[in-house]
Amino acid sequence: MTESAIPSLIAQRFRGFLPVVIDVECGGFNAQTDAILEIAAVILRIDENMQLVRDTTHFYRVVPFAGANLEEAALKFTGINPHHPLRIAHPEQEVFRDMFGHIRTRMKDEGCKRAIIVAHNAHFDHGFVRAAAERHNLKRNPFHPFSSLDTVALAALCLGQTVLSRACVAAGLDFDPEAAHSARYDAEKTADLFCYMINRWQELGGWPLAESDNTLVDEPDAGTAA
């Protein structure tokens, strides 16, 4: 193992996975047919105080892929106008190549073997990311193919809330409803919530990892649990 691949604390904490918080804003609910309009990826790190914190945010406005469906109700909900003349957006393939590149670089730096999606209703965002990677034949998708970490389930357990805004308030985090439904804002608030819950669990004695259990995850096979 090279020096750059020595497992970091975050690799040890998440069994070789790099948690990356994702939020996708879309033109509908169908990952196969509906456009991705915005996506943000928040990469996390463990700081000098052993706290999980936000590090870098990669945010993109996305040009709908050719033939993509745009539901009027979804556009009204997000407030995104994909045809606005001042909207600076990039082709979907370009966006995902750039985002995946940033994530793979951090995986190498942290000694992680895979990234894992963290999201609020993670199956939704995971589905859109996977569909985009398949649509553009991107072979180096860094994310685990089917496992994810869902902040809805974690917030229900830790805070008795499942709605992102209410969970943030219960955790003592600021939440601006006027800023919601931007991929950047929602991803960063989801990241703050996830970090709060992980750090609180650590404070209660749920971590650090036992010295005898420092095995990192192997590359997953289809049908194999993470």
Give catalytic residue positions.
181
Where do we find the tokens 């948690």?
Answer: 19
Question: Helix (H, G, I), strand (E, B), or coil: what is residue 66?
Answer: coil
Give the span between the Cα atoms of 5 and 12, in whole angstroms. 12
What is the CB neighbour count within 10 angstroms for residue 105?
A: 12
Phi and psi, residue 63, nearest 5°: -75, 125
Give the chain's count of helices (H) and strands (E). Answer: 7, 6
Is 101 in a helix, a strand, or coil?
helix
- For residues 25 and 21, what is the distance between their CA atoms, to the nearest angstrom? 14
**31 burial via Cβ count (<10 Å: 0-12, 13-18, 19+):** buried
Helix, strand, coil % in the chain, rounded to nearest 5:
40, 25, 40
Secondary structure (DSSP) of 127-141: HHHHHHHHHTT-TT-
Separation CA 102–CA 119 (nearest Å): 18
